[in-house]
Amino acid sequence: MIGIEYTILATDGAARRGRLETAHGSVETPAFMPVGTTGTVKAMLPESVAETGADIILGNTYHLMLRPGAERVAALGGLHTFMNWPGPILTDSGGFQVMSLSQLRKLDVDGVTFQSHIDGSRHRLTPESSIDIQRLLDADITMAFDECTQWPATEAQAAESMRLSMGWAERSKQAFNEKPGYGLFGINQGSVFSDLRIESAERLAAIGFDGYAIGGLAVGEGQAQMFTVLNGVVSRLPAEQPRYLMGVGKPADIVGAVARGIDMFDCVMPTRSGRTGQAFTRRATVNLRNARHAGDSRPLDENCCCPACSSYSRAYLNHLVKSGEILGSMLLTWHNLTHYQDLMAGLREAISSNSLDVFIARFVVDQEIGDIEPLS
């Protein structure tokens, strides 16, 4: 087998239950990838991330090329060895971070020159160098280099950005060295303009990739508009390869996107929220800074088996968060990642049993009930 292998095991409407085989193991889909931007999922040990149920994590080209450097990671055995994560890794190409983090960015048809947000040093990324960096990192799934279209954008701006990314996608494919267990994903762009999204999908399919991502969403357009884009473009992507919605998102975003045929997700939200005292539960988001938790002996979520819920009270979590203790960030991050992985497992089971509509209806009801106040 050259590349990665994706098998669809069940469907329910547009939703798919699948399995992705890579050089470092299999990924059950729909899947959520915890974000390990700089070679670590913040506030978590790799073993703890695996215990939440995660099969695959995400690393980032931009951050790792700046620090510690892709060549150093390669010399130390690759990113799997370097960060002690034996499972599959997907690496983002760096295009989004160049747009959002770098200073004095200069874009041209060949690539982008920018100054590091860390120390101001000058760097250049091209499709070829991005692919080479991801090869040095030993990513199981490499992402084509693209420009993440600014938001908001006019149709003319979105068209110019998308067509630049499609040219870079062709060059990324040419630069990628195919080998067993390793794959390259193309990235669909076009902002919220359906004709541009369709044009991008057709060009990517003509090039041919191991998977297809949808980029440039969850950047401010709102859930309704994001779902409208997905309704128009998902069916235009090759059905036999996995589909990845980049940077998404909240649990409700994920549930809606799975129902529309998306297989893979990543987002910093569960880890970032864990560090700011917010917890995702089956009954919406809970702010542990709220004074109402200070005397509450109940678990955060009685249906969750993570350490935060099985061993500690809301009162203690509130104390940790209000005191700024590191343990609070650790426990809430562990909980949030467990919640996301439990959600994905529930979606997989619902698709397999052809009961996705029932699962979604129950999810909506639970979210509408909200977090229940303790009895006085």
- Catalytic residue numbers, as ranges: 92, 266
Alpha-carbon torsion (212, 69, 147, 129), positive or negative: negative
User: How many Cα atoms are found within 13 Å in the side-chain-facing hemisphere of 170?
Assistant: 11
Rounded CA-CA distance 255/367 in Å is: 12
3-state secondary structure of 277: coil
Kindly state the tokens that stand for 78: 């690759």
In the block, residue with structure tokens 């080998």: 179
Rounded CA-CA distance 27/16 in Å is: 13
Strand partners, 333: none
3-state secondary structure of 194: helix
Rounded CA-CA distance 175/189 in Å is: 20
Rounded CA-CA distance 136/133 in Å is: 5
Rounded CA-CA distance 375/292 in Å is: 11
End-to-end CA distance of the chain: 62
| Closest C-alpha to 258, from 55, 5, 7, 14 | 14
3-state secondary structure of 142: strand
Range list of β-strands (E), 197-336? 211-214, 243-245, 264-267, 278-281, 284-287
